[in-house]
Every structure is written in C-alpha cells, then in structure tokens.
Amino acid sequence: MEPINGLYGFLFDENGEQVQMTSEFETNLDYNKTEYLVPGKFLTSHKVVNGAASGSFTVKKVDSRLQKKIGENPHAKYNYLAKLADPTVNGEEAILYSGVSFDGTPLLGYNLEELVEYSVDFTFDDWRYVSTIDG
C-alpha cells in the first residue's frame, strides 16, 4: 500500500466544470456534544447531538468566474464534487457536497513576486460518498 498523492485531487462545480487550478481542498465535520452524568461514574459522558460542516479551498487564479459568481449572488447554494484519483491507487475517492454556501470572496489581490491565488471558506448542508478507495 502506498499513500495517496494529492496531485490528483480535483474539484468540480455544479456544472461539472473543474474549478480553476485548485491547489488545496479540505472539508470537516464538527460535532456538537452535550454532557451528562451517569450515577456511579466519575467521568462525564458525552453524546453527539448535531454537527456543522465546513471547508475551504485555494485556487491559482486563471479568471474571475468564481469570484464573480460568489460576489453577485451571496445567498446562492451550490453542489460541488471533490475527488482524489491517484492512478497508482486502486479506485478513487469522491464526495458530493450539497448546499455549499460561501462565507465570502476576495475581490482582488496580488503580490508582484508570486502567482495570484486566493482561498474561499464555505459551509455545506449535506454530503455523501460517491466512491471510496478500499484497501
């Protein structure tokens, strides 16, 4: 078994188009827990009661499409598909994120000594595995 190479990570928007040059992508589920006591047990017990989903991605800028889409309709929700498809691994991992809502968008920024890139943060309402890599 070998580690999966992030070079083969891709992000696709609601139209199936690859999102610019995505250089980083990450999503997380955060669980909200409630504490409760059990008679005779010294340690506090915990129960997951709900959760929140968020993520971020970084792109190397090639055009203004994404920033324009987010900035002109901040209330919109989208579906995105992220996948890892390393050709040296048996299979690919893909997750469909639904109800993606962006937290904001950087309008313009640059550094004379670097390629232009920017990051966007988002939340999502649901997710499901489309495919998984099984060992």
Q: Residue 116 and residue 131: Cα distance in Å, rounded?
A: 32
Closest by CA position to 22, among listed 75, 83, 70: 83
Closest by CA position to 131, among listed 99, 79, 85: 85
pLDDT per residue as tens, the chain (135 positions): 788 999 999 999 999 999 989 999 999 999 999 999 999 999 999 999 999 999 999 999 999 999 999 999 999 999 999 999 999 888 899 999 999 999 999 999 999 999 999 999 999 999 999 999 886
Alpha carbon 107 to chain centroid, angstroms: 20
